[in-house]
């Protein structure tokens, strides 16, 4: 379409979804990934919600996704002393309601499915070993420079480059250059109150795919997700005091944190020490927050570059993909409506404003929900303990939560307006936004 070109920074799931969406729209793009491959074999596990499964199915990926993932169907909760206080299958009400379940994936496998689903001409536009160093823009274009000396010129930049986003740093710098320093986000906009230790391991024969759950204690939680072939555990631990600093933890730190969780139960038969492998483990602080500035001129942020949640509720990646849906719908409409297929700066700023208007309230709601769940499961106070151990445990409470909170929110999630496909998932509750039907042959 015209001379419009999008530069995507970041080759994680959100960036790859943007590549799919722009290719489907016939919009030229290039994706710049700082690593040597978009598929990181050391990645953790993720859970995709029904709206995300629906969106990815618009790319023709339904069969591959359903083959690779394990539907979350069973949830168990323990105290750190080994008492099981929840054993529930109420989560299956999601599939009954919407036609799709929450699905557990090993992250590298999910990324491979999304990447492999791109046609070869789109894959050729994904460039690795491209570490962005600077972004410069004027009223007509934007130029991205990389550490290897290469430069790329386009119409807009989509920053999908994660929690330590270089794109976000350059957006901030552009605001400072324009005399807007007082309105800028902090250089480190996210705060950390918890840290996490995670590890992946082959699914134990005794543990069925689709099991999820957590082990709860004071100021700490152990969370379990079991996929078809791989399982993952994340341990959460409250920091002595909140910080915004980036911390690179050593193997010694990982061993110390492991030892504090080693005897916590994972299932009725397994303790954490039975499955932990430091060769497949990592450790980091848990960032939380939403930036104030999502765009500046021709630069716009999505996913972890502009919002970061604790992982307990599994809302980070799902929100990131919804960001891409909202933004790409606006981009496609603007390019289609521009007389020469190249919307000007004023239109681009309206596109970014509309994207933020659609997404901000939901981002804030999910940030609150994720933060609350983390503190409930880590018994952050007497209130959180009582809620997590007693009030929220009965099946009837879970049914009410799913039917009257989760389902009504999920059914409102948007889809790509311009991508025609068959409706992949139908339950007893209808989707608010129908998928564009394919034309009859």
Distance between CA atoms of residues 194 and 419, nearest Å? 40
Distance between CA atoms of residues 39 and 41, nearest Å? 6
pTM of the predicted structure, to 2 decimals: 0.96
Residue 419 is predicted with a pLDDT of: 98
Task: Mention every residue, 6+ apart, whose C-beta is less than 8 A from residue 439.
Answer: 420
Q: What is the pLDDT confidence band of residue 1, given thresholds at 50, 70 and 90? A: very low
Distance between CA atoms of residues 379 and 187, nearest Å? 31
Q: Give which of 110, 108, 77, 111 is closest to 91, Cα–Cα.
A: 77
pLDDT in tens, 62-89: 999 999 999 999 999 999 999 999 999 9
Does the structure show a pLDDT above 90 at 236? Answer: yes
CA 119 to chain CA centroid, nearest Å: 23
The mean pLDDT value of the chain amounts to 96
pLDDT in tens, 149-191: 999 999 999 999 999 999 999 999 999 999 999 999 999 999 9
Residue 440 is predicted with a pLDDT of: 66
Residue 441 is predicted with a pLDDT of: 60
Residue 439 is predicted with a pLDDT of: 81
Distance between CA atoms of residues 404 and 396, nearest Å? 12
């Amino acid at each position: 379409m015209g001379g419009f070109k999008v530069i995507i920074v970041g080759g994680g799931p959100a960036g790859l979804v943007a590549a799919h969406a722009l290719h489907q729209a016939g919009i030229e793009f290039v994706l710049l990934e700082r690593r040597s491959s978009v598929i990181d074999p050391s990645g953790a596990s993720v859970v995709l919600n029904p709206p995300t499964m629906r969106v990815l199915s618009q790319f023709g990926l339904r069969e591959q996704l359903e083959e690779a993932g394990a539907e979350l169907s069973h949830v168990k909760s323990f105290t750190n002393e080994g008492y099981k206080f929840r054993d529930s299958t109420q989560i299956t009400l999601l599939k009954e309601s919407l036609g799709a379940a929450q699905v557990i994936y090993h992250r590298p496998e999910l990324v491979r499915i999304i990447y492999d689903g791109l046609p070869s001409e789109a894959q050729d536009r994904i460039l690795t070993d491209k570490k962005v160093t600077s972004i410069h823009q004027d009223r007509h274009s934007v130029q991205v420079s990389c550490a290897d000396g290469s430069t790329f010129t386009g119409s807009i930049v989509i920053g999908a480059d994660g929690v330590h986003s270089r794109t976000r740093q350059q957006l901030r710098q552009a605001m400072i250059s324009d005399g807007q320093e007082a309105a800028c986000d902090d250089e480190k906009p996210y705060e950390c109150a918890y840290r996490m230790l995670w590890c992946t391991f082959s699914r134990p024969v005794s543990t069925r795919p689709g099991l999820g759950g957590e082990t709860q204690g004071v100021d700490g939680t152990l969370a379990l997700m079991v996929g078809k072939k791989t399982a993952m555990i994340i341990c959460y631990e409250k920091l002595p005091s909140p910080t915004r600093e980036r911390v690179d933890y050593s193997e010694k730190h990982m061993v110390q944190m492991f030892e504090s969780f080693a005897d916590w139960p994972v299932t009725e038969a397994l303790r954490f020490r039975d499955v932990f492998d430091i060769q497949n483990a990592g450790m980091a602080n848990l960032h939380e927050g939403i930036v104030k500035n999502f765009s500046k001129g021709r630069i716009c942020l999505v996913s972890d570059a502009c919002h970061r949640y604790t992982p307990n509720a599994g809302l980070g990646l799902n929100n990131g993909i919804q960001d891409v849906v909202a933004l790409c719908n606006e981009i496609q409409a603007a390019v289609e409506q521009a007389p020469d297929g190249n919307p000007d700066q004023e239109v681009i700023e309206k596109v970014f404003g509309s994207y933020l208007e659609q997404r901000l309230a939901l981002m804030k709601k999910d940030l609150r929900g994720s933060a609350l769940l983390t503190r409930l499961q880590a018994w952050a106070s007497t209130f959180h303990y009582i809620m997590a151990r007693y009030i929220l445990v009965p099946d009837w409470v879970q049914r009410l939560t799913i039917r009257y909170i989760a389902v009504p929110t999920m059914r409102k999630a948007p889809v790509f307006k311009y991508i025609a496909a068959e409706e992949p998932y139908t339950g007893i509750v209808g989707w608010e936004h129908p998928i564009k039907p394919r034309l009859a042959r």
